[in-house]
Amino acid sequence: MNLIATRKSELVEKLGIFLEKKEQMAPVAARIFSYIILTGKQGTTFEDLVSNLCASKSTISTHLSHLQDLKKIDYFTRPGDRKKYFTINKHTMIQGISDMVEEWKNEKQLHIEIKAYKEDANKTLEEENQFELGFHDSFIDFLDGAMTSITKLKETIINNKH
């Protein structure tokens, strides 16, 4: 196995473990998704997945179907070739980013409201009992920066420059 293939194999495992936890995926589904991510837009075939992930055809087939049902992956075909080439679903990534930004906006609004409450409460409290407000300012700044960055990433994906 050459160096790039070895690195890919190691990253498939690392990313697979991450996705198992973050996306609550089954271990093989997470490895399939990872492999597809690391293969890129050239796509990967069913046979490649069976061979490289050392899993049975039925296991790969079951998890590929599930990932397609979840709209996490798509496939394309090539003229004169009967194989399906699996790639990540760009639209699912875009929707995931949109959902993340919406969640962060709601969290930001909550912190703004909590901070306003604490500011008002501080007016009635003795100095040693007052709320510290710096955390909310820092967290709101963090969320603003995160939303700006992830929105930029979304635009890059939409423009297909990834």
Asked if residues 36 and 73 have their Cβ atoms less than 8 Å apart, the reply is: yes
Statement to judge: residues 83 and 111 lie in one domain = no
pLDDT on residue 1: 66
**Kind of pairing between the strands at 73-78 and 81-88:** antiparallel
Q: Provide the residue type at 10 as one letter.
A: E
What secondary structure does DSSP assign to 8-49, as a single string? HHHHHHHHHHHHHHHS---HHHHHHHHHHHHHGGG-B-HHHH
Query: What are residue 87's DSSP bridge partners?
Result: 74
Q: What is the pTM of this model?
A: 0.73
Provide the residue range defining the domain that includes 38: 3-88
Is pLDDT at 85 greater than 60 in this prediction? Answer: yes
For residues 62 and 55, give the distance between their C-alpha atoms in angstroms, rounded to a whole number: 11
Statement to judge: residues 104 and 74 lie in one domain = no
Average pLDDT, the chain: 93
What pLDDT digit, counting tens, does each position of 16-51 carry? 999 999 889 999 999 999 999 999 889 999 999 999
**Of 34, 18, 100, the residue nearest 73 (C-alpha):** 34
**Of 9, 67, 17, the residue nearest 38 (C-alpha):** 9
Statement to judge: residues 97 and 123 lie in one domain = yes
The total of structural domains in the chain comes to 2
Statement to judge: residues 77 and 114 lie in one domain = no
pLDDT on residue 162: 42
* Percent residues over pLDDT 70 in the chain: 98
Statement to judge: residues 101 and 79 lie in one domain = no
Is pLDDT at 79 greater than 60 in this prediction? Answer: yes
CATH of the domain at 52: 1.10.10.10
Mean pLDDT, residues 120-125 taken together: 95
Measured in degrees and rounded to the nearest 5, phi and psi for residue 80 equal: 80, 5
Statement to judge: residues 70 and 113 lie in one domain = no
The residue among 88, 108, 125 that closes a domain is: 88
**Of 103, 116, 16, 105, the residue nearest 67 (C-alpha):** 16
For residues 88 and 43, give the distance between their C-alpha atoms in angstroms, rounded to a whole number: 9
The residue among 72, 88, 104 that closes a domain is: 88
What pLDDT digit, counting tens, does each position of 124-153 carry? 999 999 999 999 999 999 999 999 999 999
The residue among 34, 69, 88 that closes a domain is: 88
Identify the three-state secondary structure at position 130.
Answer: coil
Statement to judge: residues 11 and 71 lie in one domain = yes
Statement to judge: residues 133 and 145 lie in one domain = yes
Statement to judge: residues 14 and 71 lie in one domain = yes
Statement to judge: residues 99 and 76 lie in one domain = no
What pLDDT digit, counting tens, does each position of 43-62 carry? 999 999 999 999 999 999 99
Statement to judge: residues 17 and 82 lie in one domain = yes
pLDDT on residue 159: 87
Is pLDDT at 110 greater than 90 in this prediction? Answer: yes
Statement to judge: residues 78 and 100 lie in one domain = no
CA torsion 88→94→100→106, rounded to 10°?
-160
